[in-house]
Amino acid sequence: MSTAVHLDEITKRFPGVVANDDVDLTVERGTVHALLGENGAGKTTLMNILYGLYEPTEGTVYVDGEPRDFNSPADAIEAGVGMIHQHFMLVDPMTVAENIVLGNEPRKWFGTTVDRERARQEVIDLSQRYGFDVNPDDTIEDVSVGVQQRVEILKALYRGAEILILDEPTAVLTPQEVEELFEVFEELTAQGKTIIFISHKLGEAMHAADDITVLRDGKNVGTVKADETSNEELAELMVGREVLLEPKSAPREPGEQVLTVENVHADDNRGIEAVTDVSFDIREGEVFGIAGVDGNGQSQLVESITGLREPTSGKITYKGRDITRASRRSRIDDGMAYIPEDRHERGLVMDFDLVQNGILGSQHSSKFSSGGSIDWSTARGHAERIISEYDVRPPHADADAESFSGGNQQKFIVGREFEREPDFVVATHPTRGVDIGAMEFIHERLLDLRQQGKAVLLISSKLDEVQGLSDRLGVMHDGELMDIVDPRNTTEEEIGLLMAGEHPESAESETDAADASVGDAR
């Protein structure tokens, strides 16, 4: 086994920040190497150096044992290094084949014309060689994200990449697609390719990688073999202290009903019914979880509750008041906070800075405005408080929201919503895309709210998250609330069956929705 990549004492400084501090990294040929770390640990910067997008301030990059001085990605490609970015670099209306050969089109007729037949054949040959299932004639915008990612990989391979860098490749994939991606990794390494992938998910690194290097605050804090380490050891390396991987919540006696949902039906944007006859209630001091595969009506249900969608029928009562048709603002003013599922579309205005984003939803409250004009110094103090309390990095209140990584955007949204001092929080995928340190923090804050007697509605596709945090757990399938169970006395298998739309056999007692006792049945 030979060394494919060796980074020797790489340091990268940006004005005011040391992104990489004296990092050594050695990657063996034909292996999968995971680069693990929290958001902002310097993983992507390090890989951008290897890919020639940045020049290191100090240190040397060796590829195939040769010292390299990459001035641009073109140099890196030349040396057989390819990178698949988190946001795909694909042209949506073009076909798979057109995208793969873009910039290196095979020509005919004295170079005047693209030889489409040859391009197509080359793409077919390439995908067959690596066992990829892609149709060269499909248009990018018509294929799934998983296929788009494979197209990106093919694009790198087409350019002769021997070393593939993937930046957070699983962030956008479904669990099945993640599995398929890892199979692709195996196929590629079997044919001698080397893979480096960036992740902040422990489980993935353990599952897919041969070696794992952990970065923290720009430093390499250790390289370990995946089969000689444990989740706990990795978590500690990443965060620098012991981490509770499983959220823990002590049972608590719930109080008054805060929210009641009765027989709610709602349509999706196409006018097809997405929520069918859903009823449940949430009490003070309670976390009510909703589990289910994404796209089973959770979004429409949440939108009905938060006032972004009008239910077609049914009734929603909040603090004793019928809010079925109440405006969004009246709900905010009445202490309802909302962590939206899509932070780009609903959570933040991407080209506003954090000061402006921090007051979104409260811009009319007397806290920030008087006589129709906004008190910007208070708004700034507010944003800075969120940034420091929720550890948003880098701590620049004046930077546009889009310049932050996804995890930090999420922390800022969570901070903004919790700072409203709400009575009721609707949290949709609150930890999607954040690292484990921040995840633990968000979980703790949710449980704090519960401890203070607030109500929480938690929607997540991560089963361990909803199961660990919830006092009661509703499971949705195809728009219906299949059942409400006690998450502490229900196995993952039972919940999984409900998510798939089947009732576990013995749970035939059709209990009242408000009354959860079904899970006890064994």
Partner 1 sequence: MSTATIDQLRDTELSYRALLAVGAIAVFSFIAFFGLVFPESIWADLLGILISRSTLSSALRLAVPITFAALGGIFAEKAGVINIGLEGLLIISAFTAVITTAVIGPGVTILGLPAIWIGFFAGVLASLVFSLIFAVVCIRFKADQIIAGLAVWLIALGLAPFAATVYYGGVNTDNVGTTLGTWTIPVLSDIPFFGAFFDAGPAVYMMLVAVPASWFVLNRTAFGRHIRASGENPKALDTVGVDVSRVRYAGVLLSGFLSGIGGSALSLGLGQFIGNNQTMVNGKGFIAIVAYLFGNYNPLGAFGASFLFAGLEAVQIRLQQVPGYAIPDSLIQTIPYITVIVILALVGRTRIPQAAGEHYDTGEDNR
List interacting residues with partner 1 (CB under 8 A): 44-45, 48, 53-54, 73-74, 77, 85, 89-94, 98-99, 102-105, 107, 112-114, 116, 141-142, 155, 159, 270, 403, 405
The H-or-E segment that residue 406 falls in is helix 406-418
The H-or-E segment that residue 142 falls in is none
- C-alpha span between 164 and 81 (Å, rounded): 6
Query: Among residues 73 and 496, whose Cβ is nearest to partner 1?
Result: 73
Q: Are the beta carbons of 70 and 76 closer than 8 angstroms?
A: yes
CB of 86 to partner 1, least distance (A): 11
CB of 249 to partner 1, least distance (A): 36
Q: Are the beta carbons of 516 and 486 closer than 8 angstroms?
A: yes
- C-alpha span between 71 and 478 (Å, rounded): 52
Q: Which two tokens stand for residue 49?
A: 């150096």
Query: Among residues 99 and 357, whose Cβ is nearest to partner 1?
Result: 99
Q: Are the beta carbons of 245 and 234 closer than 8 angstroms?
A: no
Q: Are the beta carbons of 520 and 489 closer than 8 angstroms?
A: yes
Q: Are the beta carbons of 83 and 94 closer than 8 angstroms?
A: no
CB of 46 to partner 1, least distance (A): 12
CB of 306 to partner 1, least distance (A): 23
CB of 93 to partner 1, least distance (A): 6
Query: Among residues 138 and 486, whose Cβ is nearest to partner 1?
Result: 138
CB of 99 to partner 1, least distance (A): 7
Cis upstream peptide for 394 (omega within 30°): yes
Query: Among residues 53 and 308, whose Cβ is nearest to partner 1?
Result: 53
Look at the chain and count its residues: 522
Query: Among residues 28 and 105, whose Cβ is nearest to partner 1?
Result: 105
CB of 233 to partner 1, least distance (A): 29
Report the DSSP beta bridge partners of residue 139.
95
Query: Among residues 53 and 173, whose Cβ is nearest to partner 1?
Result: 53
Rounded to the nearest 10°, the torsion over CA 82, 85, 90, 95 is 60
CB of 40 to partner 1, least distance (A): 10
Report the DSSP beta bridge partners of residue 62.
6, 67
Q: Which two tokens stand for residue 222?
A: 């250790």
Intra-chain end-to-end CA distance of the chain, in Å: 52
Query: Among residues 106 and 381, whose Cβ is nearest to partner 1?
Result: 106
- C-alpha span between 392 and 445 (Å, rounded): 15
Query: Among residues 260 and 405, whose Cβ is nearest to partner 1?
Result: 405
